[in-house]
């Protein structure tokens, strides 16, 4: 039964994970008598490796999955990876470039073959890393967004939405990445404040009567202007509405129009309208029937329409346009200006808004039932404040551009007939003939679907839809989705829309939005800052359990996590504490103790207390897990195990283990508490708990993963025992504090008096005298009703009575008084400094909130210490 002297995660983790997998413990049973719990993993990119955000997300999911399995649920946790269209294509393009190849040189078919080869070779790295973390996914259900079943689901959805008129193709302004050569959805564009310029340009009136000055941050786009707009209520321009201007450099005639969307406060109040390169201008052009002139192409170079600037890169064109405007007298002035620029979320290139023929999903009809599902509480966001963000986006939703101009992904299931122009939308793998004219001159659309299109189907496509599978019938809708806030729009909202539309049911009942993991100073982790904490390095150094427990213990709802390696190291000490406590228990019990029946009424006081406190912990942990307050659930067990079981009961047990009449009872209680704690802790720290479990005598199951999660037993709650032990602990702490204050060791023979006027407390001390003497490490403690203080005696005030120890022959009283007086003066000086800060309004307003709170906390700590010092000084001065 004995454990090794120290815990080594490397000996344990791989061993147990292999056992769990081989025995099929992660797989659902489809037992009709069990309640169901299902969850789908947010599929990491197939290009990805485990980062600290993944570690947090999957630890939370694993805690839920393990807890529910132990609590009698049939659990399905669907794992998988996302094909990550743009990212994966970029990776493989870089790889073939080393061979001197391009994807164009290879051709589409050969290039796709190379991507699949790369996927088979490198695409499951993150899956293996999730296993190192301990993720208990149902691995036989592992899916990939490009696998055969999910690809079929994608086609089914596309064709059905097309038939319903919810998918269409049209010329529309979209975000375009010139580097990746593809359209991007609004959500794939990262908006950043950038220091730029505002240029004021003169546009001459056609009749020669003057000019209108417009302000722009993008002078190169003026080549595509088709109007200048003013606000209809702007008195400065009312007389010019309807007149025409001559576009500088290009000499094209353009009208002055009036539109309410124009902000009279921006620049001069007159704005250039470039419908093919600005979202607001595109909408304005539709209202005023203006032409669209595309002057920047998909490659980021100027088009034929740019006239003399054709072929210039867009920023080179800007320089040349500004030079020519200045030379020809059309540039009035320039000034510094902060603007918001969109960047590609993959390659960081500044995106180009441009008009392009793309495929779109009409989202408003899909959004309405998705909004209602949350409004009526069928889906709940946790924390609840994320609901407002969801509503804000969904109520202002724009049509979703779903086509991407890359090769890796689900190719759009649309063919075109060269002869009659028919558009053929089909679920078939290959269309060979036009159904209208029978021509064989048909070709498939070159574009692929947005990666998020297939991800939106994830909760039901992974379970076999469009087939009515047993998995789908049993486990859909899923119970909860665990994700981060940054993909509420990308993924969560789209899953809700698609789930309701195609399944007629919500895809999940709850959405738990977890925190962002930052560094210890609260800064976002990034390679450039050098503050990234690699979870795989932490697992190698401290073990998976230590990392898992740290992340969970810090994962408070609504607050970002401030993580440091020191915190992980700190919780590694907790893992060691569990190991050492378990080792103590196993070394001090006999096999027959496992057979002993506990009779609570006959147990000693401390045994009743620890069992009562254990049940309160069970109740709180279960409540907190159900409320998704994972940090509080973890810390409830932490405080009980370390603070109550280890610090108190294991010490008390030493007294009872040496008595024959209480030995077996004590062993049984030790085993009961340890066993229950291991079960409570297993979802958080599965490896160490499974290893200790293997050494326990007489277990209800071979492996802890298969045991039942502890259930609250109200009959073991003993409030009287709790109150009595609370007093005995206070008494013990009082004695320890006096000893610590005056440097008295366990070897010092001490006689202690407990002075109290109430018989019940004196009687309690009398009953527990042996335990208190052992815990406080004193020779003798005596309870007295009346006591006259003698010379050299110091006291410690308790809630009931006081502790007294005579120090006359143990320390130099005068020296001690001098020491305490010096400490008092230092404390008072520090308190004055902090008081000065806390009374300074400027400090309170300007200092960070956490700094102010820290100062207040320090002030309170110093005040508490000062009270103690003053009490001891008073005692010594009386002598």
Within its chain, how far is the Cα of 510 from the centroid? 15
- The Cα–Cα gap between 749 and 763 comes to 24
- The Cα–Cα gap between 293 and 536 comes to 52
Whether the CB-CB separation of 466 and 156 falls below 8 Å is answered with: yes
CATH number for 651 = 1.10.730.10
Whether the CB-CB separation of 167 and 362 falls below 8 Å is answered with: yes
CA angle, 759 then 729 then 646, to 5°: 150
Residue 177 located in a structural domain: no
Is pLDDT larger for residue 879 or for residue 592? 592
Percent over 70 (pLDDT), the chain: 100
Report in angstroms the alpha-carbon separations of 436 from 414, 538, 879.
15, 63, 112
Residue 802 located in a structural domain: yes
- 766-825 residue pLDDT tens: 999 999 999 999 999 999 998 877 777 888 889 999 998 888 878 777 787 888 889 888
Of 179-188, 309-318, 340-349, 554-563, the range with the lowest mean pLDDT is 179-188
- The Cα–Cα gap between 512 and 509 comes to 10
Provide φ and ψ at 463, rounded to 5°.
Answer: -100, 10
Non-local CB neighbours of 158 within 8 Å, separated by 6+ positions: 167, 412, 413, 425, 449, 453
Residue 524 located in a structural domain: no
Average pLDDT over residues 173-186: 84
pLDDT of residue 877: 77
Q: pTM for the whole thing? A: 0.85
Average pLDDT over residues 452-460: 97
CATH number for 145 = 3.40.50.620
pLDDT of residue 879: 57
Which residue among 514, 529, 558 closes a domain? 514
User: Chain-wide mean pLDDT for the chain?
Assistant: 93
> Do 205 and 307 sit in the same domain of this protein?
yes
DSSP string, 784-801: ES---PPTTEEEEE-SSS
Q: Identify the band that residue 444 occupies on the pLDDT scale cut at 50, 70 and 90.
A: very high
Cis peptide upstream of residue 233 (ω within 30 degrees of 0): no
CATH number for 199 = 3.90.740.10
- 709-759 residue pLDDT tens: 999 999 999 999 999 999 999 999 999 988 988 888 877 788 899 999 999
Say yes or no to pLDDT of 359 above 90: yes
> Do 569 and 635 sit in the same domain of this protein?
yes
- The Cα–Cα gap between 138 and 69 comes to 12
Q: Which residue has the tokens 């959500």?
A: 187
pLDDT of residue 872: 81
Whether the CB-CB separation of 744 and 730 falls below 8 Å is answered with: no
Q: Identify the band that residue 188 occupies on the pLDDT scale cut at 50, 70 and 90.
A: confident
> Do 196 and 325 sit in the same domain of this protein?
yes
Say yes or no to pLDDT of 849 above 90: no
CATH number for 737 = 3.30.2320.20
**SS3 assignment, position 617:** helix
Please list, residue by residue across 556-571, b when 16 or more beta carbons sit within 10 angstroms of its beta carbon and e when fewer do: ebeeebbbeeebbeeb
> Do 574 and 692 sit in the same domain of this protein?
yes
> Do 280 and 314 sit in the same domain of this protein?
yes
- The Cα–Cα gap between 192 and 264 comes to 24
CA dihedral 121, 125, 126, 129 (to 10 degrees): 160
Residue 552 located in a structural domain: yes
Of 95-104, 180-189, 369-378, 617-626, the range with the lowest mean pLDDT is 180-189
Residue 876 located in a structural domain: yes
Whether the CB-CB separation of 781 and 805 falls below 8 Å is answered with: no
pLDDT of residue 183: 83
Tally of domains in the chain: 6
- The Cα–Cα gap between 768 and 228 comes to 92
> Do 92 and 161 sit in the same domain of this protein?
yes
| Nearest of 62, 54, 49, 44 to residue 137 by alpha carbon | 62
Report in angstroms the alpha-carbon separations of 423 from 28, 131, 500.
44, 46, 28
> Do 272 and 401 sit in the same domain of this protein?
no
> Do 859 and 790 sit in the same domain of this protein?
no
pLDDT of residue 633: 98
- 661-685 residue pLDDT tens: 999 999 999 999 999 999 999 999 9
- The Cα–Cα gap between 252 and 226 comes to 8
> Do 582 and 699 sit in the same domain of this protein?
yes
Q: Identify the band that residue 453 occupies on the pLDDT scale cut at 50, 70 and 90.
A: very high
Whether the CB-CB separation of 726 and 719 falls below 8 Å is answered with: no
- The Cα–Cα gap between 509 and 380 comes to 6
Handedness of CA 457, 459, 463, 467 (dihedral sign): negative
CA angle, 31 then 36 then 39, to 5°: 125
Question: Could you say which DSSP state residue 205 is in?
Answer: B
C-beta atoms surrounding 367 within 10 Å:
19
Residue 203 located in a structural domain: yes
Q: Identify the band that residue 447 occupies on the pLDDT scale cut at 50, 70 and 90.
A: very high
> Do 727 and 800 sit in the same domain of this protein?
yes
Look up residue 743 and give its two tokens: 């440097």
The domain containing residue 437 runs over which residues? 413-446
Cis peptide upstream of residue 466 (ω within 30 degrees of 0): yes
pLDDT of residue 645: 98
- 14-53 residue pLDDT tens: 999 999 999 999 999 999 999 999 999 999 999 888 999 9
Q: Identify the band that residue 1 occupies on the pLDDT scale cut at 50, 70 and 90.
A: low
CATH number for 833 = 1.10.287
Residue 70 located in a structural domain: yes
> Do 346 and 367 sit in the same domain of this protein?
no
Say yes or no to pLDDT of 11 above 60: yes
The beta strand positions in 407-476, using DSSP E, are 414-417, 423-425, 442-444, 448-449
- 463-522 residue pLDDT tens: 999 999 999 999 999 999 999 988 888 899 999 999 999 999 999 999 999 988 888 888
Handedness of CA 624, 629, 630, 635 (dihedral sign): negative
Strand 780-784, strand 751-755: pairing: parallel
**SS3 assignment, position 194:** strand
- The Cα–Cα gap between 296 and 294 comes to 6
Whether the CB-CB separation of 599 and 556 falls below 8 Å is answered with: no
pLDDT of residue 808: 80
Residue 525 located in a structural domain: no
Please list, residue by residue across 324-356, b when 16 or more beta carbons sit within 10 angstroms of its beta carbon and e when fewer do: bbeeeebbbeeeeeeeeebbbbbeeebbbbbbb
- The Cα–Cα gap between 220 and 301 comes to 11
Computed on alpha carbons and rounded to an integer, the radius of gyration of the chain in Å comes to 36
> Do 556 and 682 sit in the same domain of this protein?
yes
527 is in an annotated binding site: yes
Q: Which residue has the tokens 């002598």?
A: 879
């Amino acid at each position: 039964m004995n454990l090794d002297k120290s815990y080594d995660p490397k000996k344990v983790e791989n061993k147990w994970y292999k056992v769990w997998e081989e025995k099929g413990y992660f797989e659902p049973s489809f037992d009709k008598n069990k309640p169901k719990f299902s969850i789908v993993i947010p599929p990491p990119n197939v290009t990805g490796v485990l980062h600290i955000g993944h570690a947090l997300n999957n630890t939370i999911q694993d805690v839920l999955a393990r807890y529910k399995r132990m609590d009698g649920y049939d659990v399905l946790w669907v794992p998988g990876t996302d094909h990550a269209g743009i990212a994966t294509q970029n990776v493989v393009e870089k790889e073939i470039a080393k061979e001197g190849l391009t994807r164009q040189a290879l051709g589409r078919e050969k290039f796709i073959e190379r991507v699949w080869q790369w996927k088979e070779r490198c695409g499951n790295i993150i899956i293996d890393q999730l296993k190192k973390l301990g993720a208990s996914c149902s691995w036989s259900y592992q899916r990939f967004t490009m696998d055969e079943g999910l690809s079929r689901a994608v086609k089914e959805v596309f064709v059905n939405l097309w038939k319903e008129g919810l998918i269409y193709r049209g010329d529309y302004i979209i975000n375009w990445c010139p580097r990746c050569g593809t359209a991007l959805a609004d959500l794939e564009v990262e908006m950043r404040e950038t220091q730029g310029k505002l240029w004021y340009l003169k546009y001459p009136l056609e009749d020669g009567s003057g000019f209108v000055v417009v302000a722009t941050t993008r002078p190169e786009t003026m080549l595509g202007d088709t109007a200048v707009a003013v606000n209809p209520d702007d008195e400065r321009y009312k007389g010019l509405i309807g007149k025409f201007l001559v576009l500088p450099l290009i000499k094209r005639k353009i009208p002055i129009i009036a539109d309410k969307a124009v902000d009279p406060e921006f620049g001069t109040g007159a704005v250039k309208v470039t419908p093919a390169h600005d979202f607001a201008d595109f909408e304005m052009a539709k209202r005023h029937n203006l032409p669209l002139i595309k002057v920047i192409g998909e490659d980021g170079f100027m088009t034929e329409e740019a006239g003399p600037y054709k072929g210039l890169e867009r920023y080179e064109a800007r320089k040349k346009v500004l030079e020519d405007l200045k030379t020809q007298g059309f540039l009035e002035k320039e000034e510094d200006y902060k603007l918001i620029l969109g960047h590609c979320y993959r390659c960081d290139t500044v995106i180009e808004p441009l008009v392009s023929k793309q495929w779109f999903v009409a989202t408003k009809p899909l959004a309405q039932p998705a909004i209602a599902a949350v409004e009526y509480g069928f889906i709940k966001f946790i924390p609840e404040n994320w609901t407002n963000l969801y509503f804000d986006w969904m109520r202002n939703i724009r049509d979703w551009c779903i086509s991407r101009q890359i090769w890796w992904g689900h190719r759009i299931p649309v063919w075109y007939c060269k002869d009659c122009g028919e558009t053929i939308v089909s679920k078939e793998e290959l269309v060979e003939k036009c159904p209208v004219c029978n021509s064989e001159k048909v070709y498939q659309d070159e574009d692929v679907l947005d990666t998020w299109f297939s991800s939106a189907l994830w909760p039901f496509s992974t379970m076999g839809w469009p087939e009515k599978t047993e998995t789908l019938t049993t486990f859909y809708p899923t119970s909860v989705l665990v994700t981060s806030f940054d993909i509420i729009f990308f993924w969560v909202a789209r899953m809700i829309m698609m789930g309701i539309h195609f399944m007629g049911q919500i895809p999940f009942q709850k959405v738990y939005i977890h925190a962002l993991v930052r560094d210890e100073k609260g800064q976002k982790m990034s390679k450039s800052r050098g503050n990234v904490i690699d979870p795989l390095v932490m697992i190698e150094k401290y073990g998976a359990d230590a990392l898992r427990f740290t992340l969970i213990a810090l994962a408070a709802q609504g607050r970002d996590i401030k993580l440091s390696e020191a915190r992980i190291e700190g919780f590694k000490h907790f893992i060691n504490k569990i190991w050492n406590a378990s080792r103590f228990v196993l070394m001090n019990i006999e096999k027959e103790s496992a057979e002993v029946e506990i009779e609570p009424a006959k147990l000693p006081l401390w045994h009743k207390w620890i069992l009562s406190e254990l049940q309160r912990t069970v109740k709180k942990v279960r409540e907190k897990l159900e409320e998704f307050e994972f940090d509080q659930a973890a810390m409830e067990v932490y405080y009980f195990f370390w603070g109550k079981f280890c610090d108190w009961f294991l010490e008390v047990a030493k007294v009872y283990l040496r008595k024959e009449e209480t030995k077996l009872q004590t062993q049984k209680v030790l085993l009961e508490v340890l066993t229950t704690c291991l079960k409570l802790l297993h979802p958080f720290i599965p490896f160490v708990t499974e290893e200790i479990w293997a050494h326990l005598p007489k277990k209800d199951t071979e492996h802890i993963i298969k045991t039942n999660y502890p259930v609250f037993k109200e009959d073991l709650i003993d409030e009287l025992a709790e109150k009595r032990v609370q007093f005995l602990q206070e008494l013990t702490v009082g004695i320890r504090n006096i000893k610590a204050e005056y440097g008295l060791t366990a070897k010092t023979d001490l006689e202690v008096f407990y002075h109290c006027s109430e018989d019940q407390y004196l009687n309690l001390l009398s009953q527990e005298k042996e335990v208190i003497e052992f815990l406080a490490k004193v020779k003798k403690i005596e309870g007295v009703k009346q006591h006259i203080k003698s010379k050299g005696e110091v006291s410690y005030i308790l809630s009931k009575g006081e502790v007294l120890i005579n120090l006359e022959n143990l320390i130099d009283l005068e020296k001690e008084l001098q020491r305490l007086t010096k400490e008092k003066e230092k404390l008072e000086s520090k308190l004055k400094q902090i008081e000065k800060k806390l009374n300074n309004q400027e400090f309170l307003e300007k200092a960070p909130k956490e700094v102010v709170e820290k100062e207040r906390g320090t002030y309170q700590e110093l005040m508490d210490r000062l009270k103690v010092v003053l009490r001891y000084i008073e005692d010594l001065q009386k002598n």
